[in-house]
A and B are shown apart, each in its own frame.
Chain A
Amino acid sequence: MLRNIDKVSGIDKISTRSRMNDATFITLSMLGVLIVLLGLACLFVPNFYLGQNIINLVTNYWFVIVLGIGVTFLLITGNFDMSVSGIVAMSGVLSVYFCQAAHVSQSELANGLGLPYWAAIVLALTASLIIGAINAFFITKLKVASIIVTLGTMSIARGIAHIVTHGAQRNTSLPDVFKVIGNITVIGSIKLSVIIMIIFVIIAVIIEKRTVFGRRTYLIGANIEAARLSGVKVGQHLTILYLISSLLAGITGILLASEYVSGTSNRAMGSEFDALVIVLLGGTSIAGGFGSVSGTVIGALILAVVTSSATGLLLRPEWQFILKGIVTFLAIMAQRFALDRRNI
């Protein structure tokens, strides 16, 4: 039927330029919101406009963005992953435990398995992938609601962190190389972790916009039955997404453990909700088939502006919870309102 699809006549008659589609509209709108908020913050929050502050916004939030990548892809397909924060804690703790020197001290928390650091990393990541696989199994094979399963695996993962650290932390007898990757700076004072985040974001955006894999993610989210009938291997695809999400969380855990030179059981507490918030702020909708990683990054920046403004205005840290809730709510309503108005 089609001869050569590299050259087709008549293409100039069909416009390929679109009235900007809804997803781009939302992303740009949230970017606008970000700029407005930045402006307001600079005006009202003392010292906000200092360049260092703004850079800090990004650099302090790097790990939420990394987690947000996995959560974005999953939310596009209509699924949650609440286990990420637990995996961060678990993988960090394991990375410490495996390479702590063995038989050095009376205190149990100062003894580890004495493996080389690279082995500890590999094992910690393997454990993270196992959690991701458990998630995938229950969601694709047993068809359990993703929110429930991932809340369960979050407890399991963080629970493992608790067990290994006896509820506290492990931070002694570590090899010197341990603190390198989390603290090393590249290009001036920008940490390696931030660079890694940027790389991951770029890769994610490429996957989302330019690859078949990314396209299939949207297809599953838009209409899972039609996707199946169009040849998409839905179960396999979702499994890969959960493995990616858990792997990203695992890497984050290792980097954070290195940065703080410790594995704590309450690391990244609440960051599963933070990740969800930035994804929602960025315009991704649970309705499926809609959303983007670039939106998530903008969402992260919005959240960063809001939370650091709160700190700058000397609000108590407890305000963070309240602000996150309100901001998420406003974003959902505003996005819905804007899309309804647009599509009348």
Chain B
Amino acid sequence: MGINENISKQVRKSGTNSWKATLKGSYVFILLIIVVVILSLVKMDSGGIFGRGHFLNWDGSIVNLLRSAVPILTLSGGFTLLMISGNIDLSVGSALSLSAVIYSLMILNGFGLFFSFIITMILGIVLGFVNGLLVMKLRITPVIATLVTLNLYKGIARLIVPPGISAIKSSTIKTMPAWINNYARKDLIAGLPVAFFVAIVIIAILVIIQRKTILGKYSVAIGGNRLAAELSGINAVKIGWILYIMVGLLAALAGIARASYMSIGDPLTGDGMELDCIIAVLLGGTAFSGGEGSVIKTIAGALIIMCITTGLMTVIPPYWQMFTKGTVLVLAVTLNSLLVREKVLE
């Protein structure tokens, strides 16, 4: 019978050699080490491996990398949980841009840090709420629903920026206060800004959520076997909605960090962030169909992609970036399809 065949397929797949399984599971960390090593070996002329101009140089290179990585570090953990539940959000880039625009607009117009933060975060929640509404409540396919909101948020962000101006930034009439950099650019400890540590805290919170809370467990349940989850009384709509709101909120935080770092609110700033997140989760071994994934591994994947983009930026011209990213995505997809065990589909 067809069903029994599926059952025996499950049996066959579950009997993996545990040594191989561990290797399969942690390939992302190995990849990260390889990438770092390769980048460190480039330009091995003067100054030694930790000297100026080299990849592993703390103040010049690593700090820069980590500062630029703040948005994706903030965002990709939550993105992982969403994907574990079997959903996707392609609008994160636009949500990031819109948040950056709103935040910088408020700062430019004299609102204080605290108030601007709060308003932008509420915006993020709203953006995530809309996604959740479309996907979970109205049952529109996540890809299409979030492509719709991608364009919606992108349009709003670009609309807010006055015509003829490319971003929310200092002008002759108003100047952006310098303290905008305090969050994501100014040095707090070891050259790293507040935003970086906030991102670390967020990652830690997400790891705890994934492993120790009911939200984490239910995300796995819904992504792994939605029917069984609902049979056990889990409200899949509610859980998914909460995850979308969370991702929206994190996108807002990432947008704040981006605006703070660059001192401007650029409506194009988040373009392509969704691709970065996808690469990160793929490298981290998340199954696209849901049920499998890990916040920590995704973060490793995010670091890989940051290393590649910032590291390569020193070696290759900027117009190679897009091709490189596309290739990395395709390679990540290949790795993921070969190494991650997808759910047996009935």
A residues touching B (Cβ–Cβ < 8 Å)?
A: 80, 134, 138, 142-145, 147-149, 151-160, 162-163, 165-167, 265, 273, 276, 280, 286, 316, 318-326, 328-329, 332-333
Contact = CB atoms under 8 A, between A and B. Distances in A.
A138 to B, nearest CB: 7
A149 B330 contact: yes
B323 A160 contact: yes
Interface in B262-303: 275, 278, 282, 288
Interface size class on chain B is 35 or more
Given A280-B144, A318-B155, A134 B319 contact: no
A320 B158 CA distance: 10
B148 interface: yes
Interface of B: 88, 134, 138, 140-141, 143-144, 147-152, 154-156, 158-159, 163, 275, 278, 282, 288, 317-327, 329-330, 333-334, 336-338, 342
Nearest to A166: B319
Contacts of A319: 155, 159
11 contacts: A138-B333, A142-B334, A143-B342, A144-B288, A144-B333, A156-B323, A156-B326, A157-B326, A159-B320, A159-B323, A162-B320
A156 B334 CA distance: 15
Contacts of A159: 320-327
A166 B320 CA distance: 8
B242 to A, nearest CB: 22
B78 to A, nearest CB: 19
Contacts of A152: 326-327, 329-330, 333
A163 B333 contact: no
Instruction: List 5 tightest A-B contacts by C-beta distance, closest first.
Output: A159-B323, A155-B326, A321-B155, A322-B155, A156-B326
A316 B158 CA distance: 10
A339 to B, nearest CB: 14
A151 B151 contact: no
**Main SS at interface, chain A:** helix
Contacts of B327: 152, 156, 159
Contacts of B320: 159, 162-163
Given A138-B334, A158-B322, 20 more contacts: A80-B143, A142-B334, A148-B333, A151-B329, A152-B326, A153-B330, A155-B275, A156-B323, A156-B327, A159-B322, A159-B326, A165-B319, A273-B150, A318-B158, A318-B159, A320-B155, A321-B155, A322-B151, A322-B159, A329-B148
The dominant DSSP class at the B interface is: helix
B270 to A, nearest CB: 13
Contacts of A321: 151-152, 154-155, 158
A322 B322 CA distance: 26
Nearest to B325: A155
A163 B319 CA distance: 5
Nearest to B332: A152
B145 to A, nearest CB: 8
A166 B144 contact: no
B317 A145 contact: no
Contacts of A329: 134, 140, 148
Contacts of B143: 80, 147, 286
Nearest to B152: A325
B326 A154 contact: yes
Given A155-B325, A159-B323, A322-B152, A138 B138 contact: no
Nearest to B329: A152
Contacts of B288: 144-145, 148
B67 to A, nearest CB: 24
B147 A167 contact: no
A238 to B, nearest CB: 16
A226 to B, nearest CB: 13
A155 B329 contact: yes
A283 B323 CA distance: 34
B319 A162 contact: yes
A195 B146 CA distance: 35
B206 to A, nearest CB: 22
Most chain B beta-carbon neighbours within 10 Å: one of A321, A324, A329: A321
B196 to A, nearest CB: 27
Given A156-B326, A316-B159, A318-B158, A151 B275 contact: yes
